[in-house]
Structure 1
């Protein structure tokens, strides 16, 4: 199974740091929309592919633009929501990293289906500030979920800290913020 983690396109929350981090549910910037369109040629999707997307506006916009007119699987999963990296005790979630509620994302992105059989607390609090040991257990659960899809290739549209957390968990390597991907860059992992 191939997991391809893609960082979302440039979001409005990165345009005027640090103040813009306090935007609630930031959209893609104009540049972010252009970046998402470029994914169509750099990582073309097929009907055999599955997209798993973080429940934030900028990730859903990235995936929606990229997958326009492609009948691939489109899932939204809180276990790929924003995550602070490295994990810090007493950290709090900034407004830009709050998850969209189920009703709002289903209204705005009706072709995307929410992952089933998850606790409601995951949909409300996400994985952003979970302690490392708790995240690692949920990461195992998410990898099992991916395996259950029985697809050769799964694309995961998510955030820089989330990608780095999963990379570190899966590879066993110690990573830092220097390992963050830029907007719409991707990282490919093959799991047996």
Structure 2
């Protein structure tokens, strides 16, 4: 099984930092949309592939552009929502990293699937951003185990730099830093 983490395209929240980090619900910029279109040339998707998406506008937009007209499954999950890296559990989530409400996503994106059966509503409300490391590891290991059950397809995860780095560190057992953050629409691939 191939597991491919992709960072979203350039978002509006990166245009005038640090002030723009206070922007709620940032979308992709025109450059971000172009970056997402380029992903289609990197990976030819098919109906066996699955894209798991963080519940933020910029990741949803990236995934929808990337998916294009392919018949792959698309699932929104709070287990790949924004995550602070390194973790500062006493800090608050920045406005740009607040996840969209489940009902709002379902209303705006009715054709997507939702990983809302085994996850608590609290997880859909606050995500994993400031979750303590031990709780994150338990949930992340369960999520990765579920990903391994995908037969004959690839699992693409469209997420955020800190989230991808947190999963990368968990998978490899290495010690990573912010220097290891993927750039916009950059990906990291693992084989199981």
TM bucket (normalised to shorter chain) is over 0.9
Match status 1:18 vs 2:14: no
Distance in 2 of aligned mates of 1:148 and 1:66: 23
In structure 2, the partner of 1:185 is 186
Match status 1:171 vs 2:172: yes
In structure 2, the partner of 1:122 is 123
Q: Deviations over 1:69-125 (max 9, x none)?
A: 111111001000000001113111011000111121122222211112211111001
In structure 2, the partner of 1:33 is 33
Asked if 2 retains the 8 angstrom alpha-carbon contact of 1:50 and 1:151, the reply is no
Distance in 1 of aligned mates of 2:131 and 2:64: 28
In structure 2, the partner of 1:156 is 157
Match status 1:63 vs 2:67: no
* Structural RMSD (CA): 1.0
Distance in 2 of aligned mates of 1:143 and 1:72: 19
In structure 2, the partner of 1:89 is 89
Q: TM-score when scaled to structure 1?
A: 0.96
Give how far 1:34 is off. Answer: 0.5
Distance in 1 of aligned mates of 2:145 and 2:27: 30
Distance in 2 of aligned mates of 1:150 and 1:107: 30
Match status 1:75 vs 2:75: yes
Count of equivalent residues: 191
Distance in 1 of aligned mates of 2:15 and 2:49: 32
In structure 2, the partner of 1:2 is 2
Q: TM-score when scaled to structure 2?
A: 0.96
Distance in 2 of aligned mates of 1:95 and 1:186: 25
Runs of 4+ displaced beyond 3 Å: 148-152
